[in-house]
A and B are shown apart, each in its own frame.
Chain A
Amino acid sequence: MAYRIQRIPSAPPSVAFAARGAAIVLALVTAGIVLAALGFNPLALGWQVLRTTFGSSYGLEDVGLLVIPLIFTGLSVAVGQKIGAQNIGAEGQFYAGAFAATGVALFVPGPTALILPLMFVAGAVGGLVWILVPTLARAYADVNELITTLLLNFVATLMVYWVATGPWLDPSGRALATTARLPHEVPEFWGIVHWGLPVAVVVVLLVAALFAFTRWGYEVRVAGSNPQAARYAGMPFRRHLIVVMLLSGAIAGLAGMFEVAGTVHRLQGGISNNFGYLGIMVAVLARSSPIGVLPAAALMAVILNSGIVLQTQGITVSTVLAITGLILFYTAIGDELARYRIVRG
């Protein structure tokens, strides 16, 4: 009766799901222990978080607003991973999309019904332009996109900070470091939640359908899981890679567009709230599945909102960031452990 541990190539979904749940719970327990050591009462905090988030429509509206950019950035990262590209520059593409959409809103005259779609396109193009150089460098010179996309985040952050405090600064002089309020905005449909939410869901469904039902989607999935096989089968790997990466950037740009057009209504430094980086976590939690992005983004939005509640209780943004990192860390471990099983023999 000897037992041994066996590793299997991929975990069965139920085990993987359980491992995810356990990882998140364990991360929260660890964070609770640390908070308790710092003199907070973790149980009271937890209760406060649950009550504020789910106990009123305000809490749910906040979550509904936070989930919009998370769906887009999470989808952006997940799309890239379909072909094995690690786009960790969603943060920068978010800023580029917000920048381009703001430019259209501020400088193109016209009725809102016309300008909003134009801002939508501008947001997507902004994100696409921002990932263009990393995409071409990866496709033609095999330069690791992980690094190039990431470094461009810093450039985009500085660019937005510069225009919001310099050339595009609110001319009325009332605001310190933002542009003027945008003359066009995405209408709201439930409390403070705007139409970006249904649009985000539609984009997710479209992208999911693209991967699931088209020949292109099939080829991309094959290329992502086995580039060699894709090459031997005569699939244009490079072309697929370029299209997928540009799509990834465009989707992240939409996150920025909806943030300025629907939520913040101004362009300002720090507008992304780390949504680009959190998108990586959303994609990980979704296991790179476009549909999976929806529940993963919802979970992430609840965690984020909890973070905001925690801040009212005297816990800083950075502590929340550390807890988020902890969850990601435990998830990575849980994912690996889910692949092991104990067999007799």
Chain B
Amino acid sequence: MDIIAGIIQTSILAGGVLALAALGEVLAERVGVVNLGVEGLMALGAVTGIATVVATPNPMLGFALAMVVGFFFGMVFAATTVYLRANQVLCGLALTLMGTGMAATIGRAYSGTPAPATFPPIAIPYLSDIPLLGRALFTQNILVYLIYIILPVALHWLMFRTKHGLDMRAVGENPAAADAAGIPVNAMRFWYVSAGAALAAGAGAYLTLAFVPSWSEGVVAGRGWIAVSLVIFAGYRPINAVAAALLFGIITSLGFVGQARNWPIPSPILSMLPYLGTIAMIIVPVLAWQRMRRLMAAPAALGEPYFRDVR
């Protein structure tokens, strides 16, 4: 029974990294911008997080600074893709190369050292005393509650229950119509893409401050790309994105358990599980439920820059 509690605990931790990055990507894609720089942003956030806690052992500060760094790089990316209208796919790939390269360069000084301070688990009174699952579900660090409950609910409410959310989705679906209705299309895109980038970098910091917790080159290991794929699987919805990330965390933690318990499967094969799982997760639903396609469809103007004079 301990093993099940352990799997759940690890799944929640592993899924949290992806959930936070995926929420950021939901924000960017809902306003019509594909940000393929998530992997690079996560690397930058991860190294910022570790560098901060080495300087001052305050994980909260590390997390906050990582988000500031992510926001800054997000603004650069958004300025070029939204205002200069440069190719989003290319700029995203460039951001990933720059981010991973810069992070690895800066991170050399911290390579292999464990984080001197991490987010401590907080036990929720009474709930954490529930036998079996109480400890696993309710003795997590503070970010877990933020990522799994507060953020997705807040974003869902913002996007689907407010006038502002309607405007936001209109920008991603039909920017010309949104513009005609007086919605500031480019400003909306700029700020949401930047905010999404901040969340992605935050996910990186969460990785090095709560999940792994240390820096090594390649620590992000494609999680940024998995987060981008989860957004498709989640149909661009915040609550689904978090659920998908959790499902993903379960796949990841099964791989860990296999390695720890010496299953007769080589560990590189177990490490393939998350990637193969993601591929299956984005292909199977479209095949299985043809009718879901419309419901899960991407925002109509996704990836397209908006020109007011070219209607």
Residues of A that sit less than 8 Å from B by CB: 7, 86, 88, 133, 137, 141-144, 146-148, 150-155, 158-159, 161-162, 165-166, 277, 280, 284, 316-326, 328-329, 331-333, 335-337
Q: Which residues of A contact B56 (CB under 8 A)?
A: none
Alpha-carbon distance between A336 and B85 when the two chains are bound, in angstroms: 7
Interface segment, B168-176, B199-207, B265-273?
B265-273
* Contact flag A325-B94 (CB < 8 Å), given A141-B287, A162-B266, A336-B84: yes
Query: Which residues on A sit within 8 Å (CB–CB) of B84?
Result: 333, 336-337
A147–B283 touching, CB < 8 Å: no
Contact B86 A148 (CB under 8 A): no
CA distance A165 to B297 in the complex (A): 42
Bound Cα distance A321, B101 (Å):
5
B64 on interface, CB distance cutoff 8 Å: no
Helix, strand, loop or mixed for chain B's interface? helix
Which chain B residues (34-53) contact chain A, with CB distance < 8 Å?
Answer: 36, 40
Decide if B94 touches A143 in the complex (CB within 8 Å): no
List of B residues within 8 angstroms of A323 by Cβ: 101
Interface residues of B in 67-98 (CB under 8 A from A): 80, 84-87, 89-91, 93-98
B216 contacts chain A at the CB level, 8 A cutoff: no
Q: List, in ascending order, chain A residues with CB within 8 A of B282's CB.
A: 143-144, 147-148
What is the CB-to-nearest-CB distance from A147 to chain B, in angstroms, rounded to a whole number?
5
CA of A321 to CA of B86, assembled, Å: 21
Assess the B279–A152 pair: CB atoms within 8 A: yes
B229 touches A318 (CB 8 A): no
| List of 8 A-B pairs having minimum Cβ-Cβ separation, nearest first | A322-B101, A325-B97, A318-B104, A321-B101, A325-B98, A329-B94, A162-B268, A328-B94
Are A143 and B286 in contact, with the CB atoms below 8 A? yes
Tell me if B278 counts as interface (CB < 8 A to partner A): yes
Which chain B residues lie closer than 8 Å to A324 at the CB level?
97, 101
A144→B279 CA distance, assembly (Å): 11
Interface residues of B, count at CB 8 A: 49
Q: Report how far A277 CA is from B222 CA in the complex, Å.
A: 14
CB proximity of B72 to chain A, nearest CB, Å: 15
B221 contact set on A, CB distance < 8 A:
154
Assess the B275–A162 pair: CB atoms within 8 A. no
B228 within 8 A of A: yes
> Which chain A residues lie closer than 8 Å to B271 at the CB level?
158
**A179–chain B nearest beta-carbon distance, Å:** 15
A241 to chain B, nearest CB (A): 16
CB pair A155–B272 under 8 Å, yes or no, is yes
Chain B, residue nearest A269 (CB)? B268
Contacts of A320 in B (CB 8 A): 101
Contact B283 A332, beta carbon cutoff 8 Å: no
Are B91 and A158 within 8 A (Cβ)? no
Residue of A nearest to B276 (CB): A155
B208 interface hit (Cβ, 8 Å): no
Which residues of the other chain, B, contact A151 by a CB distance below 8 angstroms?
Answer: 222, 225-226, 229, 275-276, 278-279
- Whether a CB of chain A sits under 8 angstroms from the CB of B310 is yes
Known A158-B272, A318-B217, A329-B94: A142·B101 in contact at CB below 8 Å: no
Known: A152-B275, A329-B80. 18 other contacts (CB 8 A): A7-B307, A147-B232, A151-B222, A151-B225, A151-B275, A154-B221, A155-B272, A158-B269, A159-B272, A277-B97, A316-B104, A316-B105, A318-B100, A319-B105, A322-B100, A325-B101, A329-B95, A332-B91
